[in-house]
Amino acid sequence: MRTFNAVLFVFLVAQAASTQAADLSGAWTIDASACNQVFTKENNKLAFRKDADLNAGGLIVQGKQITGTFQKCTVKSLHDDGQNIRVIAACSDGVAISDVSFDITLSGENKIILSSKAPVPIETPYVRCSM
């Protein structure tokens, strides 16, 4: 799950740098009903609640930075073909930094799907929280 969250971070960062950047900024989670249990606003800035990873977990996208409960990523490159975005990001878990690649697909208003082929194929839908 942590590896996937890292990938998700990268996807969001990449998309934030694309022409649809305004569309991806904000707080994202896999369970819209858990938004208030995962995120909070402190001094007008998005932040994770203390036990966010015990609920649905999620991502905070701000420009080229994607922050999760366990990792931080910075977008290095992206390819946007309109509906899909291919992202490569440098991600750190506090111990090591590694490059991660993934795809982001827009699946509706305030909805995306993050997917990765390695090390195991995975797709995860995310929804933006209104904060």
Predicted model pTM: 0.77
Query: CA neighbours within 13 Å on the CB side: how many for 6?
Result: 20
What is the tens place of the pLDDT at every residue in 88-101? 999 998 899 999 89
Residue 8 has pLDDT above 80, yes or no: no
> Is the four-CA dihedral 56, 61, 64, 69 of positive or negative sign?
negative
90: CB partners within 8 A, 6+ apart? 73, 74, 76, 97, 98, 99, 100
Domains, in order of start, for the chain: 26-128 (2.40.128)
Query: For the chain, what percent of residues have pLDDT higher than 90?
Result: 42
CB 20 within 8 A of CB 124: no
In the 3-class helix/strand/coil scheme, how is 55-107 assigned residue by residue?
CCCCEEEECCEEEECCCEEEEEEEEECCCEEEEEEEEECCCCEEEEEEEEEEE
75 vs 125: CA distance, rounded Å: 20
